[in-house]
Structure 1
Amino acid sequence: MLMPARQEVAAAAPSSWLELPHGGWLQAQLSQALAPHCAKVFGYYLARVGHLAHELELNELRVRHQFSATRSGAGDIHTDFEYWPFAEGVLDAVVMVGQLEFERDPHQVLREMSRSLIADGHLILAGLNPLCPARWVGFWPPHLQQLPWRGRYFSRARVCDWLNLLNFEIVASGYTAPSLLLARTPSPSFGLSHLSQVLPAVGSWYYLVAKKREYPLTPVRLKRPSKTPLNAVPAVQRINDGGRY
């Protein structure tokens, strides 16, 4: 049974990739996975939500004005993501990385992102995969209050359902960065790179590229049945019909 997504108190989100085990490697892996999809995103305004999105290198984005939004610390705008400060339909794209898991009401956050996007705008979302082998490491009691385990993690399928309810079309998705997320391991992937070629779900991160769809309502005019007057029927037809007219 799925637990409710909303919680009373949210955990503190990571303020840098360096706070995560093998953070630099995770950042490079996610940037590489998103590169071909970012090349298809263009426009005038793009918002990077959270510190991880602020630091993520996405050189393929063809958006003229990019800015970051965080709750505090480094960032161009400090704001509460549940009460997005942007008007309706003003952003061409939103990038959110590792932030939804640390929000008090993730449904409300996604609604705000959707509201601020233009029609056919892009939402690029990435989060930690709760079904990967690294999640078992987080169940160890000493790790429960450490990053990245102190957040609430949602599966890719569950987030897809939320986006579908908001009229988003998932145009691309996948997993990346297979790792146990243990800082003391000599290799970040720790032998999972070969397994990920057969089972992609062992990746510690999932990503979604969604496009906001708006379907306009087209009024349909009802056709009224035409009443043919008696004098409009030819006389020959009236005679052939037996004179019932």
Structure 2
Amino acid sequence: MPIELAQWLETPMGQYVRAWEQRQVDAMVTNAFGYHAIQIGLPHWDLLQANRIPYKAWAHSPSAPFGQRAGRLICEPEQLPFDGQSIDLMVMPHTLEWCEDPHQVLREVERVLMPEGRVVITGFNPYSLWGVRESLPGLALRLPVPVPSQVSPSRLKDWFKLLSFELDRGRFGCYVPLCATQAWLQRWHFMEHAGDRWWPAAGAVYAIAAVKRVIGMRLVGPAWRGGKRRRGRRAAVAPVANQLKDDHG
């Protein structure tokens, strides 16, 4: 499946998805700090480019297209060749969709991430219009990942609760109907803004960022004068559209 997905990402629809995911992941990793950042899967696509962590590597299975980038690692996501608590940032573009045991992959990610380390995951949304279309027989255009292999955001949230992850942010995107040409993409472009406003949970793809929390860990900070921290008035936080909602998964 990694080869089929990589090839699909070069089509007009794939480039459309790829551009949206690149923007979301860039925003989610730009302020992640540390020493080691790893991308698992699709090594020819650099989703770490907006991050300033000094050491970066691109891990992939033996069946994935290699690309020409330095820093490649060949491994299976279910058995990552890293020490526990050694990685600060992990990015997984559609990785869970082609793994035999996606929950085990998340357990491995939890094992190797540092406390307060960040994981960013992208994937197809099985409850989108694209997912519904996949269930209709006789249609020529198909996604490179079958709906049964797609991991929904609600399923990811359940796995986060079982592990040490806390959801940080998430977004849905890509509301244009599945089509074959750039011309049709342009004709349907108006749906991008309409979907973002009226049915955000029906986006074809999602990007989710989560942070590894360790119970009992105490962050060391500056001592406050007088032994007490001065309380200030907190500014109200405005709601942000298109965030992953609990009732939509």
TM-score (norm 2): 0.74
Counterpart in 2 of 1:65? 55
User: Alignment length, in residue pairs?
Assistant: 208
Greater Cα radius of gyration, structure 1 or 2: 1
Label 1:83 to 1:111 Cα distance change in 2 as closer, same or farther (>3 A): same
Provide the secondary structure at the position in 2 that maps to 1:197.
helix
**Match of 1:125?**
121
Q: How does 1:2-151 map to 2 (within 5 A)?
A: 14-16=5-7, 18=9, 22-51=13-42, 54-72=44-62, 73-74=65-66, 76-141=72-137, 146-150=142-146
Aligned partner letter, 1:192: M
3-state SS of the aligned residue for 1:186? helix
1:13 and 1:119, CA in 2 relative to 1: closer, same or farther beyond 3 A?
A: farther
Unpaired stretches in structure 2, ≥5 consecutive residues: 219-249
Residue 84 of structure 1: SS of its match in structure 2? coil
Residue 110 to residue 205, structure 1, CA distance change in 2 (3 Å): same
Instruction: Specify the alignment match of 1:160 in structure 2.
Output: 157
Q: Distance in 2 between matches of 1:98 and 1:120?
A: 23
Shift of 1:186: 3.0
Identical positions, percent: 27
Q: Which moved more, 1:108-117 or 1:183-192?
A: 183-192
Q: Which amino acid aligns with 1:44?
A: Y
RMSD over equivalenced CA pairs, Å: 2.7
Q: For residues 137 and 206 of structure 1, do their structure 2 counterparts lie closer, same or farther at Cα, with a shift above 3 Å needed?
A: same
**1:133-184 residue CA offsets vs partner (Å, 9 max, x unmatched):** 0112212345699542436112211101101211111111111222333324
Amino acid aligned to 1:70: H
CA distance in 1, matches of 2:178, 2:104: 29
Report the CA distance shift for 1:186/1:87 in structure 2 as closer, same or farther (over 3 A). Answer: same
CA displacement, residues 48-76 of structure 1 (integer Å, 9 cap, x when unaligned): 0111x650444321211111111123161
User: Matches of 2:138 and 2:83 in 1, distance apart?
Assistant: 43
Q: Is residue 201 of structure 2 the alignment partner of residue 201 of structure 1?
A: yes
Structure 1 stretch displaced more, 168-177 or 149-158: 149-158
Equivalent-residue separation in structure 2 for 1:182 and 1:145 (angstroms): 7
For structure 1, the residue ranges without an aligned partner over 5 or more in a row are 1-9, 219-245
Query: Aligned AA for 1:22?
Result: M
Change in Cα spacing, 1:106 to 1:57, as seen in structure 2 (3 Å) is: closer
Superposition pairs for residues 172-183 of structure 1, below 5 Å?
172-183=169-180
CA contact (8 A) 2:91 2:119 kept: yes
Q: Secondary structure at the match of 2:185?
A: coil
State the partner residue of 1:192: 191
Conserved? CA contact 1:27–1:56, under 8 Å: no
Quickly say closer, same or farther: Cα 1:188–1:125, change in 2 above 3 A: same
Identify the range of structure 1 (122-131 vs 190-199) with the bigger mean alpha-carbon deviation.
190-199
Tell whether the 8 Å contact from 2:195 to 2:203 is kept in structure 1 after alignment. Answer: no
